[in-house]
Chain A
Amino acid sequence: MAKPYPPPAFVAPAKPGEPVGFFTDSSICIGCKACEVACKQWNNVPVDDIRYLNSSYDNTGELSANSWRHVAFIEKKQADGGVAWLMNSDVCKHCKEAACLDVCPTGAIFRTEFDTVVVQADVCNGCGYCIAACPFGVLTRREGIASHPETNGVAQKCTLCYDRLSGGEEPACAHACPTKSIQFGPLDELRERAQQRVADLHAEGRTEARLYLADERDNGIGGAGSMFLLLDEPGAYRLPEHPVVPTRRLKEIWGAAAMAAGLAVAGVLFAFGSSRR
């Protein structure tokens, strides 16, 4: 019998040394937001912004220090006059080459034994560099939350439930997702499943389906720990096309800096040289 899709609820515990992550199949997301709630409850992420955002059923808005899972809702009129409603649970990408990790000056952001990217909230001093560096706009600094003084001023994002992985459990969001739109497991397994899934959808005529970040070679971050199946262009979901980690250009930036410093020294020499006393 063919392997059932999506796989059954039972997921083997993550093994240290084996990269794990998410495959979020938005084609089976029912927009229930159990992922948002489970994440907030498990990780003690505060309620921060109770406001009607006038964006379909989305009142969370985007990922931030206080929203580590965000379900997007896109209402689309179809060519045949019908309507489609795309839903996708966005999350930190846990990039293989992570900009946030690269630029973090305190070492608060580190890569775990599960190849995930985690911010140590008790080390981070809130310098804000990761916020500007992330190509996906995942991190912000947690500010003004009276109920959570210990993490005030600190950058926060999805930890891929590092504590749960360490305890042999799957992340809270994957556990809560009723349709297994959020699938957790070894990345190799997820990648194979994702490729099969998109092939199946194309065979059904759903040519708008595409994978995002499933391939480590079609983006500039070396692949990710979170891959997605999308039903529209990445931009429609607030995702960047062809993301790249700025670190890939760091050498050339330092090169320019070295040349500029050299020019300054030359300038100094000239300034002194052209003035004989």
Chain B
Amino acid sequence: MGSNMAENHPVGFQWVMEAKLRGTPVIHVDPRFTRTSANATMHVPIRAGSDIAFLGGLVNYILEHDRWFHEYVVAYTNAATIVSEDFRDTEDLDGLFSGWDAERRAYDEKSWRYEGVDTAGPAHRTGTVSRSESTGALGGRTIHAHPARDETLQHPRCVFQLLKRHFARYTPAMVEAVSGVPQQRFVEVAELLCSHSGRERTSAIVYSLGWTQHSVGVQIIRTAAIVQLLLGNIGRPGGGILALRGHASIQGSTDIPTLYDMLPGYMPMPHVEDVNLEQYLADHRASGGGWGNLRAYLVSLLKAYYGDAATAENGFCFGHLPRVDPDQGTYRTAMGMLAGQVKGFFLPGENPAVGSANGKLHRMAMANLEWLVVRDLFLIESATFWKDSPEIARGELRTAEVKTEIFFLPAAAHTEKNGSFTNTQRLLQWHHAAIEPQGDCRSELWFYYHLGGIIREKLASSTDPRDRPILDLSWSYPTEGRLGEPSAEAVLREVNGWNAEGHALSGSGELKDDGSTTCGCWIYSGAYADEVNQVARRRPGQEQTLVAPEWGWAWPSNRRLLYNRASADPSGKPWSERKKYVWWDARKRRWVGRDVPDFNATKPPGYQPPEDAWGDGALPGDAPFIMQGDGRGWLFAPSGLVDGPLPPHYEPNESPFDNALYKQRANPARVRYDVPLNPYNADRERYPYVTTTVRLTEHHTTGAMSRTVGVLSELQPEFFCEVSPRLAAERDLEQGGWADIITARGVIRARVLITERVRPIRVQGRDVEQVGLPWHWGYRGIVRGDSANDAFAIVLDPNVHIQEVKAATCDIRRAEGPRR
């Protein structure tokens, strides 16, 4: 659901096919019938933007029909935990939770806490609108390891009862009304899911950008997490929630992040109010669970960054870290460019002119920069907007007036450099350079390493304190070859970390908080254990067990299934013989099994923590969710999300419908940018159809790596839209003809593909048509076309600032031919 796996992860989809061939039902819930649907057991058409209604309906069904996995839920989730008496649900406030501040457009989530916790979290203290990591996704001081619980699940304010109440109206009839999925169909899906869960069976949920790219994206995923926790599917083989990432190593790009608000290993970036290390740790360090070691992770990271300059006396150069003022995301940056606040921009391997929502805004924004550095394999649209963008063609922008100085520096391809990919299952795999890059092409590693070297050289004699963060950096990797390519393996080793003696660490358990260890990313510690590049291991699968631990290396600690303690019951025995995965061996006094246990290997199931224990020691032997402060899976999220502890159905920012469940129509916390270049579709009559961006197998993201390749260009040469025969008749569209898709942002033109695979959906008593738009085209390349993202406005999920391009509205009209 929210995924077109066969088309966009075809290699990974072979495992789904194999499962299907062994009798596994494969259910594909999607607005369109895609190549995934063609190979699924069942396709369920759904209205784009109604996923929480559907998933919430599953929660309702599971609870109503008593299909939840009792022992698992009571022991392993926070179902029994009692929540503050100040908490009010969306059922009470007609679509809002308690704590909504309409002026700040943000929640004060104090009333969402567990009962008895009255300490303020960082967001409350700063009074600013924050992102999820800043609001204590790690748990921080706001989560106690042992909150008050009612194991009978009867207490009116226990999570279980709150959950029941929250989803009470998400009946099959409501699911049908809101999402368009007929009740009978919905019940069929629910029954399949329930009957394939429990001790003997497990079910997995797979999602991709079809869930993330919504203004309620995180809450959609949360609802799925609730479903899977209730069914006891998390941490068990064949279960779980698989997030399919959008490209080859974007998992790595969040692990060792290219995101402004995180430090490596998902530690929050310090906020402007985090004046020193201790303040930061006080806000974020959890008392229980894996985040209890935050100090060790962060200090080791600072040692990796600043080497000898980082000492206990100077807080390990914590002060050198950049500070986040809540929103410095890509869209806020674009706004900053328009406002003249952002002068310069580096664009390595990113193409916002085509890939970001509201392409025109980004092109106009970049036209306002003083300088722009683009590093890519080809001259992408973001590098040439000044001469061939639609704005130039339309005369809205004139080349002579664009003052941006643009540097295009050709990049090396992955076959021309050593390095790693981290794929969607957290697996790191090494790739070796097959040839040297040609001409001026260079790797990112080469570029930033040598750029940093040049900058440090220029600043070498500076006494300005502002330059100390650059000069204090530990900045020396061995370089190789004619080009002086920094050794990627050396970087990996630093990421893995080493101890005081300089020996490579075997895992994050060895990290110390006193500055004696160095580690570039605590979750990757172990990737270079024993001075061996574990990531480069390639023992053939047929020589290994099912889990194949000697192919590559997965984080953390080469654990291939997260939270796998949950595959055994509280006493340490597998839930069933059929689904055994890891279990407690009483004789060996350790956890054993098919995988590395995602648990303290020697902590017995019966362990009860002493009063003053902290970190992992504070969690009992039957708490599998070791990164949560209370060791349990959160049905109810008392902290960490800015838009609610439970997921309510909200309509997309642009929708033909009102919210059938609450007065609050859309996510109140969603991020909007009300600027002239970002108009929203206000008039429902004018834009009566639902539209969604989609992907195709043949192309890759903005087309920079596929529309520049002949064999791929000929497989899908033209930008097309998918419409139902009924919509085609209504708007006089011709098969193979052209159409204009119109929104408040402008007009894009596409070939028309009329297909039965797209059908009108009946929602709230009337039929609505949906238009599918593959977003791979731009104005460069062997094959060119209009960009789908030009049609969408910028409106973001408030937790992670991902754009909502999977559900919006539009009009569509017949056009007579291609754009001239």
Contact = CB atoms under 8 A, between A and B. Distances in A.
A50 B713 contact: yes
B10 A30 contact: yes
Interface in B678-727: 696-698, 710-718, 720
B562 interface: no
B697 A32 contact: yes
B674 interface: no
B697 A31 contact: yes
B13 A59 contact: no
A51 B13 contact: no
B715 A60 contact: yes
Interface in B6-24: 6-7, 10-11, 13-14, 17-18, 21-22
Interface residues of A, number: 37
Interface string A43-77: 00001111110101101100000000000000101
Given A31-B38, A178-B14, A179-B14, A52 B6 contact: no
Given A30-B35, A83-B33, A87-B35, A75 B714 contact: no
Interface string A6-30: 1010100000000000000000101
A156 B756 CA distance: 37
B755 A28 contact: no
Contact of A178 (B10, B22, B713, B714): B10
A84 B42 CA distance: 11
Contacts of A28: 17, 21, 39
A262 B716 CA distance: 58
B38 A85 contact: yes
B542 A8 contact: yes
Given A59-B717, A87-B38, A178-B11, A32 B711 contact: no
Contact of B736 (A32, A50, A54): A54
A33 B696 CA distance: 11
A34 interface: yes
Given A30-B39, A54-B735, 16 more contacts: A4-B18, A5-B21, A30-B35, A32-B35, A36-B715, A52-B736, A56-B755, A57-B696, A59-B716, A83-B33, A83-B756, A85-B33, A85-B35, A86-B38, A178-B10, A178-B11
B780 interface: no
A178 B13 contact: yes
Contact of A32 (B7, B18, B717, B757): B7
B782 interface: yes
B17 A50 contact: no
A180 B755 contact: no
Contacts of A108: none
B751 interface: yes
A47 B714 CA distance: 7
Contacts of B807: none
Nearest to B542: A10
Interface of B is mostly: mixed
A49 B36 CA distance: 27
B783 interface: yes
Contacts of A54: 735-736, 751
B38 A34 contact: no
A10 B541 CA distance: 10
14 contacts: A28-B17, A30-B7, A30-B13, A30-B38, A32-B35, A37-B712, A47-B710, A50-B783, A52-B736, A57-B716, A75-B757, A83-B756, A85-B38, A178-B13
A41 B711 contact: yes
A57 B695 CA distance: 13
Contact of A49 (B6, B10, B714): B714
Interface of A: 4-6, 8, 10, 28, 30-34, 36-37, 40-41, 47-52, 54, 56-57, 59-60, 75, 77, 82-87, 178-180
A140 to B, nearest CB: 16
B739 to A, nearest CB: 14
B713 A32 contact: no
A141 to B, nearest CB: 19
User: Considering the complex of A and B, which 4 residue pairs feature the smallest CB-CB distances, nearest first?
Assistant: A47-B710, A54-B736, A85-B38, A32-B10
A32 B712 CA distance: 11
Contact of B713 (A4, A5, A41, A47): A47
A111 B145 CA distance: 74
Nearest to A54: B736
A37 B10 CA distance: 14
Contact of A30 (B6, B696, B698, B712): B6
A4 B14 CA distance: 13
Contacts of A8: 542
A37 B6 contact: no
B756 A75 contact: yes
Nearest to B10: A32
A179 B13 contact: yes
A82 B755 CA distance: 12
B711 A30 contact: no
A52 B542 contact: no
Contacts of A87: 35, 38
A56 B715 CA distance: 11
A47 B711 contact: yes
Interface string B356-392: 0000000000000000000000000000000000000
A180 B711 contact: no
Contacts of B14: 178-180
A112 B347 CA distance: 52
Interface string B429-469: 00000000000000000000000000000000000000000
A87 B714 CA distance: 18
Interface string B726-762: 0000000001100000000000000101011100000
A52 B698 CA distance: 13
Nearest to A40: B711
B697 A51 contact: no
Contacts of B755: 56, 75
Contact of A33 (B18, B21, B715, B735): B715
B714 A50 contact: yes
Given A8-B542, A28-B17, A87-B35, A33 B717 contact: no
Contacts of B783: 50
Nearest to A55: B736
B714 A34 contact: no
B718 A52 contact: yes
Contacts of A77: 756
Contacts of B756: 75, 77, 83
Nearest to B697: A32
B24 to A, nearest CB: 13
A54 B21 CA distance: 32
Contacts of B753: 56
Nearest to B714: A50
Contacts of B698: 33
Contacts of B38: 30-31, 84-87
A80 to B, nearest CB: 12
B514 to A, nearest CB: 49
Contacts of B757: 75, 83, 85
B554 to A, nearest CB: 21
A32 B17 contact: no
A179 B38 CA distance: 14
A50 B698 CA distance: 13
B296 to A, nearest CB: 41
Contacts of A48: 714
Given A77-B756, A85-B33, A179-B13, A50 B21 contact: no
Most chain B CB atoms below 10 A, which of A36, A54, A75: A54
A57 B751 CA distance: 12
A62 to B, nearest CB: 13
Most chain A CB atoms below 10 A, which of B714, B718, B782: B714
A50 B717 contact: yes
B751 A52 contact: yes
A178 B6 CA distance: 10
Interface string B20-36: 01100000000001011
Contacts of B715: 33, 36-37, 59-60
B8 to A, nearest CB: 10
Contacts of A5: 21
